[in-house]
Each structure stands twice: as structure tokens, then as C-alpha cells.
Amino acid sequence: MEQEPELLNRCLAGEDSAWEALLKAYTRKIYNLCYRFTGRAEEAEDVTQEVFIKVFQTLKTYQATQGSFATWLNRVARNHLVDHYRRARKDRVTSSLEDELAEAEQKPSPHMEPTGQVESRERREVLQLALDKLSPDLREAVILRDLHDLDYEEIAQVLSVPQGTVKSRINRGRLELGRVLKRMEGMRGPAKAGNEP
Amino acid sequence: MTHLEVENLTSEYLEGQLEPGLKREVEAHLNVCPSCVEMLEDVRRVMEMCHAAPQLEPAPWLVPKIMLATVGERKPGWLERWLGVLRPALQARVAYTIAMAVFSLSIIINAAGINLRHLTVEDLNPRTWIFRGNRAGHLFLARAEKFYYDLRVVIEIESRLRQLRYHTPEEQESPKQEPAPGGSTNSVPPAFPALATNQHRFADLAQPGAALRSENVAPLTLEEVRSQNP
């Protein structure tokens, strides 16, 4: 890939091809971040598009002295996700954990998947459901640390909070996630056992 | 160390970021507290699950969609515009037609005897093309005709020779020559009677036409055929 500062300069100069290259380089990462926050593929696509529109409009405000472009991009995405969450919370009808679990279990598989893939998909869905149960502060800290492999310093920059707060949120988030997963397994266990002949 | 203190240090302990003293205290507590061990295992499992979670692929239309929303309809570059103009010419049918036209032209140029490396003004005159083409055609015909007659002569000679060797019935019935007593180096093996009886003819073949004349066969030589068929 082309050197990032060079690519950014070309973007600022108005070169469409440079902007396209930048999009191709970061869309996947931002889409994953959005998906982990929203839990829905279509919503994640919309939010990803909104994030990049914002990035396109505010790219000239990025300064390399403040940190890497990836960190700046993550910060823009995170701020937008927080706004999106606040907007969506007003409209969203919260469903109970049991309903969501039942929905996840009844969701038909689009194709006959091999056992390994089915297990992987189930695990991914369970993880996503459990993440949805966390408060936004804890969720974003866990996502950035464990799903996006950012270090504490980068997370502190993205969230604009001290590193101590980041560590505390990550720890609390993991503990909470562990409890949620355990509860979910407790509910899935008897349900599955009941289905068996 | 209390449960709450261990709980607060769980992540740092699992990530190996604790100072040795604190780490020992945590481990000492874990040795006597099964509930904290269980909690630690839950967190470890969460971390493993997150790290094992695969990256999701966005839909292929997402980047074009964002491009459209940000920079609008993308203007094609000069190269793309040219390729757009040339695209119809790149179809297999058109390419085949062009190739055939070039091939035909090269044949005509070759037949007209035009040397493209040393092109003169005269070479561009259509009358010159016709004259040279006509000449080249006649030369080709003459060569073909000459080759045909040469070939005919060779075949005729070969067939006559074959006749002389094997198809003279009265000579085949003639008595065999008795081998000279004591043997001779000039004697012919009895397995080839025709060859033995025609030995004198092979000697005559050294003189062109002699053997043919003796058998009342029209004596043809290459020079005669050529003089008959210029």
C-alpha cells in the first residue's frame, strides 16, 4: 500500500483515486467496529457510510501530530457511534434477553453449513448478543481492546479518557461479559436439553 | 487480598501486567478462593472468544456506495475514456477481421515484390503493383511447371529401371550360371537371379541411355526432356 501521509495529501488535493484507496484500506475495520456496536449488518453498513462521509468532510482537520490516522479515524467512528446509539435508543424497543436468545436459535441457516461453521456462527452471534447487553462505555472499551487489538494508549486517545479509566472499563467490561455469557449458557442449556428426545 | 481487589486486577493479571508482588498476592488468594478462580476462568474465556472472533467482510457494494455519497459520480480518467472508445474494436470479431485484413495485405505486398524497408515512389504506383504481381504470378507458374516435368522424368526413369531389374520374363527363365570352380570374387549370389542376369545392363547404365536403347525403350535424359519442355 502507498505511504499513508502521501495518500492523505492526495486526498486533501481532491484526488478521487486516493480517497478510494483510503476507503478500501479502512472500510473493513470501521465496518467491523460498527457491527460490534450495532449488532446488525445493515445498520452497520449505514453507520459506516455516515462515518466516512464525516471523515470526508473533516479530513482537513486531521493533524499528524495528534496521533496516527487510524486512531483519529477510530475516534471519529466512535463519536459517531455514540451519537447513533443515543438517537437509536429512543426508538428502539428493548427486548428481553430470552426473546433475543430464542430469535438467535430459531434463525435459519442460509445454507447447509458444515458443523464447524455452524458452531463458529453460533459463537459469533452469542458473543454479539452478550456485547449488546453491556453498557456503551464498557462495550466500546472491550471492543477496541479485545476485538480491534488497540493498546491502552490508543484506546485512551480514541475515547478521550485517561488510561486508568480505560483499564478499569476494560476489566469491568470483561467481567460483565463473562457473567452475561454464563447466564446465556445457563438458559441455553436447559432449552437445548428440553428439545432433545 | 479481598475478592473485590482480585476482581479489579483480573485483566492485568491475565495480561501479565501485574508487578511480581501483586501477582503473588493474587495467586495466593486464588489458591484458597474457588469462586475467584471461576471468575478468572470466565474472563479468560471471554478474552479468548473475542480474539477468536473472525473479522466480518462488508458488502462489496459498500465502497462504491460511499464513493457515490462522498465524491459523487466518478469522472473517468483519459485512459479509461480511450479504453471506452476502443472497447468495440477489442471484440473478437473485429480483431479477427483486422488480423485477416493485415494478413491479406501482407500477401499482396509480398506478391507485388514491394520491400517495405526500401520503399520508393515507384512502389506506390498501382501500375507497378499490377506489373510486379503479374510477373510474380507467371514466375511462380513457370517454376511449378518445371518442377512438375522434372518430377515426371525422375519417376519415369525409376519405373523403367524397375522394369529392367525385375520384369523381363524371358531372362528370368534363362539357365543359371554355374559358379566358377574355386569361387570368384565377381560372382553374384544365386539368391538374386534377375540381378545376376542383368549385370551387364547395370554396367551399361554407367553410360546414360545405353541400356534403354538396347531394350528399344525411348531413351530419355534430363537434358532431352528439358529441351522438349522448356
Q: Between residues B218 and B164, which one has the greater pLDDT?
A: B164
In this prediction, residues B143-162 reach a mean pLDDT of 94
Per-residue pLDDT of B54-77, as tens digits, reads 888 899 989 999 999 888 876 667
Inter-chain touch B63–A24, beta carbons under 8 Å: yes
Distance CA A82, CA A84 (A): 5
Angle at A99 between CA A98 and CA A102, to 5 degrees: 85
Per-residue pLDDT of A90-117, as tens digits, reads 665 444 445 555 555 554 444 444 555 5
Average pLDDT, chain B: 77
Which residues in chain A are closer than 8 Å to B54, comparing Cβ atoms?
120, 124
Q: Given the C-alpha cell 511480581, which residue does it identify?
A: B20
- Going from N- to C-terminal start, the domains of chain A cover 1-92, 95-197
A31 contacts chain B (CB < 8 A): yes
Band (B218; pLDDT cuts 50, 70, 90): low
Q: A95-197 in CATH: which number?
A: 1.10.10.10
How is residue A180 written as a grid cell?
A: 452475561
In this prediction, residues B170-190 reach a mean pLDDT of 51
User: What is the Rg, in whole angstroms, of the alpha carbon atoms belonging to chain A?
Assistant: 19
Per-residue pLDDT of A158-172, as tens digits, reads 888 999 999 999 999
In this prediction, residues A71-76 reach a mean pLDDT of 91
- CA of A123 to nearest chain B CA: how many angstroms apart? 8
Q: Which of A48, A56, A175 sits opposite B70 (nearest CB)?
A: A56
Using left for φ > 0, alpha for ψ between -120 and 50, and beta otherwise, residue A63 falls in beta
A124 contacts chain B (CB < 8 A): yes
In this prediction, residues B123-129 reach a mean pLDDT of 81
Backbone angles phi, psi at B118, to 5 degrees: -125, 65
pLDDT at residue A46 greater than cutoff 90: yes
pLDDT at B115: 77
B8 contacts chain A (CB < 8 A): yes
pLDDT at residue A151 greater than cutoff 70: yes
pLDDT at residue B157 greater than cutoff 70: yes
A20 contacts chain B (CB < 8 A): yes
pLDDT at A195: 44
* pTM for this entry: 0.55
A120 contacts chain B (CB < 8 A): yes
- CA of A197 to nearest chain B CA: how many angstroms apart? 30
- What percent of chain B has pLDDT above 70? 70
Query: Which CATH number does the domain A1-92 belong to among 3.40.50.970, 3.10.580.10, 3.30.56.10, 1.10.1740.10?
Result: 1.10.1740.10
3-state per-residue secondary structure call for chain A: CCCHHHHHHHHHCCCHHHHHHHHHHHHHHHHHHHHHHHCCHHHHHHHHHHHHHHHHHHHHHCCHHHCCHHHHHHHHHHHHHHHHHHHHHHHCCCCCHHHHHHHHHHCCCCCCCCHHHHHHHHHHHHHHHHHHCCCHHHHHHHHHHHHCCCCHHHHHHHHCCCHHHHHHHHHHHHHHHHHHHHHHHHHHHHHHHHHCC
Q: At what angle do helices A163-195 and A152-159 cross, to 10 degrees?
A: 100
